[in-house]
Homo-oligomer: A and B are copies of this chain.
C-alpha cells in the first residue's frame, strides 16, 4: 500500500483515494465434447466494439454478487444450464486497451458440460455457435478482444485438470462406457490411449467411477457390449486422483 520508490514519470505518492474506475466482467469458456472433438460455445457480438464477431460468452459482474456467482449466472443465461458442477476460475485479464471503450478487467472461468442438445436452444440459436476448439486455436475463427488468449489458457488448464482431478466425467453423460471416457482424454490431449491400460488406470483409484452392472449397446460396427459406469466421487473433493501420462497406442493399421 505505501508507495515508496519513485516510478519514471509517475508521481511518487500515487493517491489511492482517487482510484481509477474499472468495469469488471466475467467470461466463461464453455467446453463440451461433440462428435468426438472438443468444442466450445461462442456467441456473436451484437454491439460495438467487435460487432458481429464471435466471442466468449460473458458479462458484467454486479456489485451484489461474487465472481463465482456471476460466472454461474452468465453460464445459465447463455446455455440455460444451471450447474454447480464444474466451474473453475483460471485467470484474470486486464491489459490496457483490451477493450477500446473503457478499462475492463475480466475474470475468466472454465465450464465443462456433458451435452449440448439444450445449450444452443437455451440462447438465441442464430447468435450461438458450437465451434471446434482446434479451429479457434489455429486461428480459423477470429475472436473479439483478447479472447483467443483466454481460450488458449482455458485449454491448457483443462488439460492439467483432466490429469489432476477426475474432471473427465463432467464431459460424459450420467452413465457412460469407458470408451466414452477414454475419448475425452484422447480428444483433449490429442493422443491415442490403450484401452486395456486405460481401464486399469481408471480402476486404480477406487470410487471415481462406479459400475452400474448394466451393459451398453454396441456401436454400428459391432463389438462386445461395454459395461456402463456412473460418476462416483466428485472431482471437487479429492486432490490428485489418477495419472494418465504418455501411453501411446501405435498407428491403427
User: Within 8 Å of chain B (Cβ to Cβ): is A96?
Assistant: yes
Contact string against B for A residues 16-58, beta-carbon threshold 8 Å, 1 for contact and 0 otherwise: 1001111110000000000000000001011100000001011
**A94 sits at the interface (CB 8 A):** yes
Asked if A93 is an interface residue, CB under 8 A from chain B, the answer is yes
Chain A 51-85 residues near chain B, CB threshold 8 A: 55, 57-67, 73, 76-78, 80
Q: Could you tell me the distance between the alpha carbons of A122 and B195 in the complex, rounded to whole angstroms? A: 58
CB-based contact A96/B22 at 8 Å: no
- Bound-state CA distance A1–B57 (Å) is 6
A59 to B5, CA, bound (A): 14
A7 close to B (CB within 8 Å): yes
Determine if A89 is an interface residue (Cβ-Cβ < 8 Å): yes
In the docked arrangement, what's the CA distance between A96 and B80, Å? Answer: 25
**How far does the alpha carbon of A14 sit from the alpha carbon of B73 in the complex, in Å?**
12
Interface 1/0s, chain A 83-98, versus B by CB < 8 A? 0000001011111100
- Residue numbers in B under 8 Å from A2 (CB-CB): 43, 46, 77, 123-124, 127
Q: Contacting A73 at CB < 8 Å: which of B7, B61, B62, B91? A: B7
Among residues of B, the one whose C-beta sits closest to the C-beta of A80 is: B5
Contact indicator A63/B16 (Cβ below 8 Å): no
Contact at B96–A3, with CB atoms within 8 Å?
no
A125-150 vs B: 1/0 string, CB under 8 Å?
Answer: 00100000000000000000000000
| A151 → B minimal CB distance (Å) | 16
A-B contact pairs, 22 of them (CB 8 A): A1-B59, A2-B46, A2-B77, A2-B127, A3-B77, A4-B77, A4-B122, A5-B80, A16-B60, A20-B24, A20-B63, A21-B21, A21-B23, A22-B105, A63-B103, A64-B96, A66-B94, A66-B96, A67-B105, A92-B92, A94-B107, A105-B107
**Chain A residues within CB distance 8 Å of chain B:** 1-5, 7, 10, 14, 16, 19-24, 43, 45-47, 55, 57-67, 73, 76-78, 80, 89, 91-96, 102-103, 105, 107, 122-124, 127
